[in-house]
Structure 1
Amino acid sequence: MQSSSRLFPVALLRAERCGDLSEDVYRIKAGNSPDPTVELAVTRLGLADRTQDQARRGAPVVLLHGSFSNRRFWYSPKGVGLGATLARAGFDVWIPEMRGHGLSPRNQQYRHNDVAAYARYDLPVINAFVAELSGQRPYWLGHSLGGISLAVALGSGALTADSLAGLALFGSQVSRAPWPLRVAPMNWAARGVLRRLGHIPGPRLKRGPEDEPAGVALEMLRWHGLRRRLGRARGDWRTGLAQARLPLLVVAGGGDHQDPPWACEQLFERFGSEHGQFLVLGQAQGFSQDFGHVDMLVSKAAQSEVWPLVQRWLSAPGRVLPQASLGEGLTMPAEQVKL
């Protein structure tokens, strides 16, 4: 089978119609990781009318899910979600699923997967593939762990700022953690349990539709332990964010107790971007509610208040966003979103 990429082996798994949208699913097997069995599924959303889709397709946007999640965070089987809305607005939407999530199969060393591996091996490959097929540098939007993975990739140099058109992080931070993680005996006990289990059962714990590998959780325990080691031999990846100068949007939920605004703002302040914006989604800022960790992107309120702001930023990332966009739907013709 001929590869869909000149850079590494990529197979088109399926091309289907989802209502008024098309859904092309690719599987990348780059072979750049120490684990050669890693394969990554990337879904491309567009309009079902291929002729119309090619004529309207604008800037590429990559949507990266967080922990215990998959591509359905961005669009449902009924075609509802931020990803579907952006595709209908004329953006070229790409939705990867990290190792062992959704359509990406579990690799042989699944239990050892961690953010460092995502950042070093997987995200650069996805970025290169999207840029190759779209012919443009992509925007990236990451939620929670997805946003942290992007920050690690930029801070460590695995991704360079000039390879991205812009970056948006939602509910992402590394400053706050539950206090028990900083108590050495409890931290050590949690590590022992995780090593035995090999993964965290997301559906059983009602955290989401996907499991998470133990490697990610062990990495977080190391980050939030007494020594707070956020880097390895080469140092703390956060220091490299000062060199990441690109259009930046960091969004926090006013009611997000898992990743609160003050912690998200601390990550925002690490970046050296001159075109950065920090936005809190709360009643004090003019929104209808204090948005939480998930409903900032997946809710009816987000559909009417947050999604228009995302579209507005993507169309002009240097423009300052209003604090709220109540009742303002935003539908743009393709020529306005092609950057």
Structure 2
Amino acid sequence: MHSSSRLFPVALVSAELRGDLTEDVYRLKPNNSPDPSVELALTRLGLPGREQRGAPVILVHGSFSNRRFWYSPRAIGLGPYLARAGFDVWIPEMRGHGLSPRNLDYSRNSVAAYARFDLPAIAAFVVEQGGQAPHWIGHSLGGTSLAAALGGGYLAPEQVASVALFGSQVSRDYWALKLPPVVWSGRFLLKRMGVIPGPRLRRGPEDEPIGLALEALRWYGLFGRFGERGNDWWAGLAEVRAPVLAVSAEGDRQDPPWACRKLFEQFGSEVREYLCLGRRQGFSENFGHVEMLVSKAAQREVWPQVLHWLERQALPLQANGAGGAAQGG
């Protein structure tokens, strides 16, 4: 089989026209982690007839999700919006999500594995294809995984033009998880479940491996921290210099604004912006965790903010004047 990359085996599994857009789907086999069965699907969106593509943007979905968070079957979403604006849009699907097959050690998948192995492989391939450092946008767990990769030093500076985190935080307190008996019981129950069923729990279209939940128990436990053994991701964020945008939503009960802001403030970046989406900040509504990116209101009010950020590493002046909607760091 002819590989689409000199880095590792990559197969172009489909190349289609989706309305006014081109859609190429690749399957990457990086062979860089302890589980050699890992394969990652990566969708590329662009405009037909363009010999030279714009700056690359990588959109990383959150938990219980897949590429459809960014890109509906009708070619609606932030992904198509940015592709129509001339960006070279890449949408990975994490292990066992969407078009990415479940790996053999699926139940042990974790943010640490995404950060250490998968995101760097995706970055290397995108840089190889486009010759430019990509911009990164992550929602919820996708943003948390990006923060882990940056704080852990797994993404090189030449692989990150900027990073935008939507509804991402690691500071919300769960006091019950400070009690060892609760943690022990939680681990026991999780290991019996095997997977966390997203559709059954009405959390989203995808299941999640128990490895993510076990990892979260360590983070939020009595002596927990955002990191892994021998690598403090939280401390590492202070060394990050890439421009960073953090966006929270006033109506987000899962990842509240104060916690998103705390993650934002840990970055050492000189160029940084914080945006809260709510009526008090001049927006039409108090956006929710999903609605901040997937809603008609987001299409009108949030997507243009993202486009302005990608083009200038700043938010529009009118946003800064709308009741403190955007604040520089």
TM-score (norm 1): 0.92
Q: Give the counterpart letter for 1:76 in structure 2.
A: S
Deviation per residue, 1:87-132 (Å, 9 max, x gap): 1111100000000000000000000000000000000000010011
Instruction: State the 1:230 CA deviation.
Output: 2.5
Q: How does 1:130-209 map to 2 (within 5 A)?
A: 130-209=126-205
Aligned: 1:38 with 2:34: no
| Structure 1 residues 253 and 300: alpha-carbon distance in aligned structure 2, compared to 1, 3 A threshold | same
Distance 2:75 2:299 in 1: 13
CA contact 2:24–2:43 (8 Å) conserved in 1: yes
Q: How does 1:287-326 map to 2 (within 5 A)?
A: 287-318=283-314, 322-323=318-319
Aligned: 1:114 with 2:113: no
Q: Give the counterpart letter for 1:314 in structure 2.
A: L
Alignment partner of 1:67: what SS?
coil
Structure 2 equivalent of residue 22 of structure 1: 22
Aligned: 1:86 with 2:82: yes
| Structure 1 residues 162 and 203: alpha-carbon distance in aligned structure 2, compared to 1, 3 A threshold | same
CA contact 1:306–1:325 (8 Å) conserved in 2: no
Distance 1:127 1:84 in 2: 20
Aligned: 1:280 with 2:303: no
Query: Relative to structure 2, which stretch is displaced further, 190-199 or 86-95?
Result: 190-199
Structure 2 equivalent of residue 59 of structure 1: 55
Distance 1:273 1:234 in 2: 23
Distance 1:102 1:322 in 2: 38
TM-score (norm 2): 0.95
CA contact 1:244–1:273 (8 Å) conserved in 2: yes
Aligned: 1:243 with 2:239: yes
| Structure 1 residues 321 and 169: alpha-carbon distance in aligned structure 2, compared to 1, 3 A threshold | farther
Q: How does 1:211-226 map to 2 (within 5 A)?
A: 211-226=207-222
Distance 2:321 2:200 in 1: 37
Structure 2 unpaired stretches of 5+: 323-329
Instruction: State the 1:324 CA deviation.
Output: 7.4
Deviation per residue, 1:183-227 (Å, 9 max, x gap): 332222111111111210000100000000000011011111111
Instruction: State the 1:182 CA deviation.
Output: 2.9
Alignment partner of 2:13: what SS?
strand
Distance 1:322 1:132 in 2: 37
CA contact 2:273–2:315 (8 Å) conserved in 1: no
| Structure 1 residues 219 and 98: alpha-carbon distance in aligned structure 2, compared to 1, 3 A threshold | same
Q: Give the counterpart letter for 2:212 in structure 1.
A: V
Deviation per residue, 1:71-91 (Å, 9 max, x gap): 000010001100011111111
Structure 1 unpaired stretches of 5+: 327-339
Alignment partner of 2:319: what SS?
coil
Distance 1:250 1:325 in 2: 18
Deviation per residue, 1:138-174 (Å, 9 max, x gap): 0000000000000000111111233211000000000
Deviation per residue, 1:279-303 (Å, 9 max, x gap): 1011111000111100000000000
Q: How does 1:245-264 map to 2 (within 5 A)?
A: 245-264=241-260
CA contact 1:173–1:264 (8 Å) conserved in 2: yes
CA contact 1:285–1:324 (8 Å) conserved in 2: no
Instruction: State the 1:233 CA deviation.
Output: 2.7
Distance 1:103 1:324 in 2: 39
CA contact 2:167–2:289 (8 Å) conserved in 1: yes
CA contact 2:152–2:231 (8 Å) conserved in 1: no
Instruction: State the 1:54 CA deviation.
Output: 2.6
CA contact 2:171–2:262 (8 Å) conserved in 1: yes
Alignment partner of 1:123: what SS?
helix
Distance 1:302 1:324 in 2: 18
Q: Give the counterpart letter for 1:145 in structure 2.
A: L
Structure 2 equivalent of residue 13 of structure 1: 13
How many residue pairs align between the two structures? 322
Q: Percent identity over the alignment?
A: 65
Runs (4+) off by over 6 Å: none
Structure 2 equivalent of residue 230 of structure 1: 226
